[in-house]
Structure 1
């Protein structure tokens, strides 16, 4: 059992880690280049996630600096009560203990998710994807240096270089205590983790996000939101996959053709339901099952609805529980939509690409939860705690 580190120690390690990343920028990029050279796959989204360039290193450093400056999430009083008999009862936030983060191909998770879990007083176990092994090992060596430089045991951050069979064995019979598991990746990884884990799992990340263009939409806004959601970064869970257009929109066919033309400039593959296909000459979808799919690619499906309720029903049936946006100038219509769509984040007149801990003012995120229990949406520092009851007495018995 690791004794809780003082907040000063935790902050010092995070600050030192930021300095080390700056110092080791060139070696880290060179090692990452080896991972990229070894990656033989043709998955564009995977390759984008795997790359460590100056922009990504800047992001890692910034996240560590922000974490170091944030207040301690542990030990915050959430509830106070004095019993009739004089017992003083309070509830405070507490560290989970040990958090295992299982993730695919994103070396920046080794810094950012690891940093959030460490700041909230937890020991970290990291299990990254094989494609980013060399980059991850380099970053973990920097963690160990930052810990050692501050007289903290390196066991606070541990890398599990396991294959799938070893990972399954560890999930089913952990060789050390694990209090919480956070899988960061695709649906297969999440399903695999949930199936074999013996402790709580925070389910994160499946996107399949929707934008609904209502009859009273500002169409210029709608177009730029759709293009941003689909093309600014295809490899993230807050990207856009589905577009619904209200057929009560005046000249909706003209707008649909405008959207298709604009998306094609970005080489996006556009598919439509039968109505959209007829109006725009894009290929028609072969089956409604495609509405369930998250693409992580330059691909979108456009469909129509003849009512706001129809849009809400369709989104609730097919979406991944992540994000949905309505484009409308009617605030009442927007409120009804936002109250009734069952996603972790709901938007009016903005891109779903903002569903992110950093963008929401959390100073980074460990994951984006599509579960409703413990925490929903981006999980920041303040959510990565459990709680504990403290009772102070003077001999009271019941």
Structure 2
């Protein structure tokens, strides 16, 4: 087991990492360009996630600086009790030990997720995708420089350059102790990890997020929120895939037509259920199973419901348990919707694109969990801990 590094040491490594990313900015971009050139380009969302440009590097640097300035998540007292017999019993947060992160195509994860795991006192095993290998190896070399500069052994951050078969073998029979695995990527990666892992897995699940336009919606807000959720970044789990419109909305057909027109300006493929297709001449869906799909593409499905209750039931049946938003000026209806929809994040009059550790004030995230154990939604620094009981006695026996 790794001895816990002092918070001063952990912060010094993160601060040094921020400096190195700035110094190596040009190198990192040119190495990333090689990864981009090697990539076949068949998946638009994948390519977007693979790119490292100045904005991405700025984000990486900011995340290191923010992490370095945050409170130590380890050793925080969560419960205190003095027994009748004088035993002093305390529960405190503790590091997991070793955390393995499995991810695809996003070199920024090598920095940000690595930083969150390291700040919370853990050794990190990084298993990135082959498409971003050169970028990842470059970033890991910076981690090693930052560790070495602070007289810390480089095995605190390890890159596992494994193919699929080697990864499976490691998951089933790890060559070193692993306490927690966090897969970040598509449903196939998550299913693969859950199937083969021999230790706990935090599932960073699929999106398939919904917006429900209630009969008391501000329609301009509804339009802006839907366009934002669908078009600003198609390759992320907080993007929007489904819209439900209340048939009790006055002149809903006019709003539906306007929505199609706006979405088509962004080259979004719009499909509808029978009622929506009839009202707008948009193509109708041919299979109800499409309601379960996460698109990660310029594609959206829109349906008509006859009540709030029907909307809630439909969302709970089909969504990925990630994010759902109601557009309404009626706060009581919104509150009921938010309490009854079974998602990690529920919104009133805002875009699902905000489901993100940085946006929620966590200073970044390791993953967005759609599981209910042990933390739901964005997993920040504060959540990447387990806990431990400390009991101080003077010879008490039971």
TM-score, scaled relative to structure 1 = 1.00
CA deviation profile, 1:341-380 (whole Å, cap 9, x unmatched): 0000000000000000000000000000000010000000
How many equivalent residue pairs?
A: 398
Aligned to 2:46: 46
Is 1:191–2:185 an aligned residue pair? no
1:239 CA displacement? 0.2
- 1:65 and 1:205 map into 2 onto residues whose CA distance is 28
- 2:380 and 2:329 map into 1 onto residues whose CA distance is 32
1:77 CA displacement? 0.3
- 1:258 and 1:56 map into 2 onto residues whose CA distance is 34
Aligned to 1:239: 239
1:2 CA displacement? 1.1
Aligned to 1:391, the other structure's residue is in SS state strand
Aligned to 1:73, the other structure's residue is in SS state coil
Aligned to 1:20: 20
- 2:86 and 2:29 map into 1 onto residues whose CA distance is 61
Q: Write out the 4+ residue segments of structure 1 that deviate beyond 2 Å after TM superposition.
A: none
- 1:50 and 1:25 map into 2 onto residues whose CA distance is 16
**What are the equivalent positions in structure 2 for 1:1-398 lying under 5 Å apart?**
1-398=1-398
Aligned to 1:182, the other structure's residue is in SS state strand
- 2:362 and 2:38 map into 1 onto residues whose CA distance is 35
Aligned to 1:27, the other structure's residue is in SS state helix
CA deviation profile, 1:5-45 (whole Å, cap 9, x unmatched): 00000000000000000000000000000000000131000
- 2:30 and 2:84 map into 1 onto residues whose CA distance is 66
Q: Point out where structure 1 has 5 or more consecutive residues left out of the alignment.
A: none
- 2:219 and 2:232 map into 1 onto residues whose CA distance is 19
TM-score, scaled relative to structure 2 = 1.00
CA deviation profile, 1:308-342 (whole Å, cap 9, x unmatched): 00000000000000000000000000001000000
CA deviation profile, 1:153-198 (whole Å, cap 9, x unmatched): 0000000000000000000000000000000000000000000000
Aligned to 2:314, the other structure's residue is in SS state helix
1:205 CA displacement? 3.1
Q: Point out where structure 2 has 5 or more consecutive residues left out of the alignment.
A: none
- 1:173 and 1:247 map into 2 onto residues whose CA distance is 54
